Structures are given as C-alpha cells and as structure tokens.
Amino acid sequence: MKEKVLVVIFAGLFIILLYGGCAREGFVRKAAVIPIVAGAGYTGNNICLECHDDMVGFKKTIHGRIADFEVVGLSKGCESCHGPGSIHAEDEDPASIISFKDISKGEASAVCLRCHTSGSLMDWQGSEHSLNDVSCIDCHRAHSRTRRLLAQSEPKLCNNCHQDIRAKILYPSHHPIREGKMVCSDCHQAHGSFLTNLKTEERLNDLCFECHSAKQGPFVFEHEPVVENCTICHDAHGTVANNLLVQNEPFLCLQCHQFHFHAGKIGGEGTSTDVYGRSVTSSSQSMTMAYTTKCTQCHSEVHGSDLPSQSVPGQGGALTR
C-alpha cells in the first residue's frame, strides 16, 4: 500500500516536472496579447496633448517622428502604444486607456512588439529575459530622450539586476567596463540569442575573436582547451588572478596536467614516469620547483603555435615558442 502511494506521488512529481520543463520552452509559451478598450476609436495626438501638455517633448523622440508608412499603418502617435483613446479623452479615466502601470510585463512587451518584429528582436520570445518576465520597459523609457531610449546607461542598467556580475567587474583583472571603455552589450545582446545572450553567430570563441583575433587559429600546434572554449581558463567578467584567469598558474594547468619543471621531469620524489611515460628520477627539489613555477614562462604560446618546440618526444607540440 505504502509503495503504491509512493509510486503515485513520484509519477505525479514526474508529470509536474515534465510539464514545468516544457512550459519554459519558447514555442509552447503563448505571447501575451495587447489589452483592448472596447468601443474606443483613435483621436490623434493633439487631443491627448490638450490635457497632457507635459508630454509635448514626445514629438522630439524617435517615436514622435516616425511616418505612418514606415510601420505600415501602425503609427497612431500616442495611441500606437496607449491604444485608441476616444473614450478616455471623454471620461479622463486612466482605466479607459492603456496605462503601463496597470498592465502585465508581457502585455507591455506585446505593445512594442507590434512594430518591433525584425532584427535582434526576432530572438526576443525565446530569450532568458522574456522567459523570466523582464519587459521592454524594464530597460527602455518610451518618453525619455536618452540614447536608444535606455532607462539608464550601461553597465548600471544591467547591474541593477545582475549584482553577481557587478561584483566581478570590480575584481583586479577585468575587461575595461568600469573604466567606461566597454559595455555589457559589446558582448551581450539583451534581446536574446541562442547562447547566453551572447553576440555570436555560432560559437562562444567567435565572440572573443572579434577583438582578440591573434588567438584565432588554426595553428599547427594547437592546445585542445583553447580550441574548445576560452571560458575553460578565462572568466570574461572578472577574476582575482591575472589575465582574467579562473585560477592562478600553475594550479590552472595542474587541473589537467601533471606537475613538472624541466625536460618533462615529474615534480615528485624518487623514480616515476615523466609526461611521456619515460622512467625518470626526480628529487624533492623538483616538486618545489614545479609548484612555484609559472608554466607559461616556458610554455609561452599556451594559445597555440606554428613553431615546433625543440622536443623530440613531444613531437614539437610543447608550445614553448
């Protein structure tokens, strides 16, 4: 009896998990619809401005300047976002007009997406921001005169919600974001992309190559983790170790390699096999030397090289020059 109950509970949990999993997917998620004020018609900006005279500045924003043909008849001035306002212009009731204070985040985005369907916004529906109930109006202010109508400039805008990243860009090694030479959206597309909101068409490494092209192969002697993913060794936001390294040398390298100092000698004591499987005798000194070494002092071309190292057993691939 007890087992049966458990089976039912687990089956139930499984279905909930399965459902919960699917519901997060962009394609089963229904786009929110734009709220409608029944029976209302369009009146035009001049009527609105009779009472909302503090909004005259709107004419100078990009939305105040768009021509109707640019958006195939969707441009109705104020009412292209706030909806038809004839009833509201009579009763002056905020409930009879689309007020962004009263509608959901999804509905607010739906208003903007009527026109903004192309370019980067094509990725919006499946983006982490959209799926986590972040809306256009969390980052943009329709009535402001800021660049790209941003609510705040970067990185402040992003850091409001991404406190963990804010902390990282203050670490000793960092991309020059806090110096104002770079912004989050040099690397990120806030509207979404297939990979962690990153501005890359295919692989994460392609993003890095945009600015660090010298690290782009193909090299005759490659280093496997470099080819695979730069973030195996680097954290793009900031680190305590130099060069944005996730760990200091030699410990970074020792995650994957045996410790040695010279000529492939293992940093242990006594007789053991070296990096090539040869039998070598090491002293306790070699251990100390291996631990206190900086591997890249010898393996300076850690990102890959076209020149063979003078190492016969290593087939020239020791990345020393």
* Residue ranges in 89-108 that form contacts with ligand HEC under rule CB under 6 A: 89, 92, 94, 97, 99-101
Estimate to the nearest angstrom the gap between the alpha carbon of 301 and the chain centroid. 29
Q: Looking at 1-9, 19-27, 279-287, 306-314, which segment touches ligand HEC (CB under 6 A)?
A: 306-314
* Residue ranges in 12-31 that form contacts with ligand HEC under rule CB under 6 A: none
Burial profile 82-115: b = 16 or more Cβ within 10 angstroms, e = fewer: bbbbbbbbeeeeeebbbeeeebebebbbbbbbeb
The single residue among 16, 41, 104, 128 that binds ligand HEC, judged by CB under 6 A, is 128
Say whether residue 186 binds ligand HEC (CB under 6 A).
yes
* Residue ranges in 153-172 that form contacts with ligand HEC under rule CB under 6 A: 154-155, 157-162, 165, 169
Smallest distance, ligand HEC to C-beta of residue 124, A:
5
Say whether residue 272 binds ligand HEC (CB under 6 A).
no
The single residue among 18, 74, 122, 240 that binds ligand HEC, judged by CB under 6 A, is 74
Smallest distance, ligand HEC to C-beta of residue 281, A:
15
112, 155, 211 from 181: Cα distances, Å:
31, 11, 13
Number of residues that bind ligand HEC (CB under 6 A): 137
Residue 176 DSSP SS3: coil
Say whether residue 176 binds ligand HEC (CB under 6 A).
yes
Nearer to ligand HEC by Cβ, of 13 and 22: the residue is 22
Which of these, 85, 80, 106, lies nearest to 97 by C-alpha position? 85
Smallest distance, ligand HEC to C-beta of residue 61, A:
8
Residue 202 DSSP SS3: coil
CA torsion 85→87→93→95, rounded to 10°? -70
The single residue among 87, 139, 241, 280 that binds ligand HEC, judged by CB under 6 A, is 139
End-to-end CA distance of the chain: 71
Gap between the Cα atoms of 121 and 278, Å rounded: 58
DSSP assignment letter at 48: H
Q: Which two tokens stand for residue 143?
A: 């009535």
Strands (DSSP E) found in 213-282 = 270-273, 279-282
Say whether residue 48 binds ligand HEC (CB under 6 A).
yes
Gap between the Cα atoms of 285 and 262, Å rounded: 12
* Residue ranges in 187-216 that form contacts with ligand HEC under rule CB under 6 A: 187-188, 190-191, 196-198, 204-205, 207-208, 210-212, 215
Nearer to ligand HEC by Cβ, of 94 and 270: the residue is 94
Smallest distance, ligand HEC to C-beta of residue 85, A:
2
Q: Which two tokens stand for residue 144?
A: 């402001």
Nearer to ligand HEC by Cβ, of 35 and 55: the residue is 55
Say whether residue 143 binds ligand HEC (CB under 6 A).
yes
The single residue among 104, 117, 153, 243 that binds ligand HEC, judged by CB under 6 A, is 243
Gap between the Cα atoms of 18 and 228, Å rounded: 32
Gap between the Cα atoms of 29 and 300, Å rounded: 50
The single residue among 30, 202, 224, 292 that binds ligand HEC, judged by CB under 6 A, is 224
* Residue ranges in 249-268 that form contacts with ligand HEC under rule CB under 6 A: 249-250, 252-257, 259-264
Smallest distance, ligand HEC to C-beta of residue 6, A:
34
